Structure formats: C-alpha cells, structure tokens
Amino acid sequence: MFQDYGSEFYILRDAGPVSGEYLVVELNAQVTKPFIREHFREVLFQYDTAVVTHDPLRFAATQEVLITVNVTPNLHAGVVVENAGVLYKCNVSGEITRPSGERSATTYQWEDSWATIKSDAYALLTQGLYGTDLDQEEDIGQLEVQNLRLYVPESYGARALDRYSPTSGENYKIEAIEKFRFPGIVVCQVAEDTR
C-alpha cells in the first residue's frame, strides 16, 4: 500500500542517504494556524521503517527537507502495523560553527576563527509560537521583542554561543537551547550574530 499510494523519501544521514522508504501524508485542516499549515506534516510510515526521531528526510518528488519530530508505533494485537509521525518542514539550510578560541602567533590577540561543527545543517527557523509581542512597559515607545527559534536535530551538536549561518548569508547566534521539548530535537533561541 505504501509503495502504491505513498510518497518516496530519503533519510539524510551522515553515512549517506537511506532510500527505499515510503510514507503517506495526512492533510491538515487547521487553515487558521499558518505555522501548522505551512510547516507541520502528519504522516504514516511503514511498520518496519528505519526512520527515528530527529532524522532529516527529503521527499523524492518535491525535494523538500523535513525533520522528524515524532515517531509513534500503532499497534494491533501487540504487533506494529504502521508508525505515525510528525515532520517539520525545513526552511533553511546552512552551517553550524563554533568559536575556536585561537591566539594569533604574531599579535597574541584572540582571533575570530570559526570551526565547523555541522555543514548541511537543515533546520526550521521561525518566530517563537508564543511570547512574540510588543514590549509596552518602555516609556520611550513600543519595542518589538525578538523571539526567533531554530529547530535542529540534537545530533548536529549545537551548543549555546555557536553560530548558525544559513546559505542566504545572515548569521545567528545561538543564545540558549531547549533540549526537552521534543526527543532528539533541540529548539535554539537565536538572535542576529554581530560577532
């Protein structure tokens, strides 16, 4: 059934893509919530899928990349018959780097040098779902509160003070990491990086 009616996808792993997998996308009717409509996909995987939470997947037909946020086995009489899943659609791809902290041999000053932690780092970069509003406590006027979130697989190894550089050219500093919202996924609070 999955091969006849489903969509082919590839699991993007460091050792190389894993092929031969199919899934069925269930349409989401929550049109009043733009984030869910654009980035949230409910899917069904085969009973014997190799997908695990945090795997990035690429749809063969559309070339979209999505991050696996959840995989839950559906049981019938104690046997897995399929796996339900939730995917978040990635809207950025880039590189995670970390300050290397090296001194110049001639000036002995600390130099801005960045070591690559993960290239081809697919992620979802979006405004926070909650808490993005105007700060009205200030007497000088209303100031918009920045509230950007970066959803990445924990396996990328991102830490606070790392830099995420999408291929579009900007740089974001990872200010804090929320590790326990999704298993295998970290939600990074990010802001423009001017270092």
pLDDT along the chain (195 residues), means of 10: 87 92 84 78 94 95 96 93 95 94 72 88 84 48 65 96 95 94 93 90
DSSP class of residue 155? G
* CB of 86 closer than 8 Å to CB of 69: yes
Domains and CATH numbers, the chain: 2-89 (2.40.10), 92-192 (2.40.10)
Distance CA 55, CA 51 (A): 6
Tokens of 165: 């550089």
- How high is the pLDDT of residue 129? 58
- How high is the pLDDT of residue 135? 46
- How high is the pLDDT of residue 4? 79
- How high is the pLDDT of residue 142? 43
Sign of CA dihedral 146, 147, 148, 154: positive
- How high is the pLDDT of residue 5? 84
* Alpha helices per DSSP H over 2-136: 2-5, 34-39
Question: pTM to 2 decimals?
Answer: 0.83
Tokens of 168: 């579009």
Give the burial string for 69-107 (b: 16+ CB within 10 Å, else e): bbbeeeeeeeeeebbebbbbebbbebbbbbeeeeeeeee
- How high is the pLDDT of residue 1? 78
Sign of CA dihedral 63, 66, 68, 72: negative
In 3-state terms, what secondary structure has residue 21?
A: strand
- How high is the pLDDT of residue 26? 86
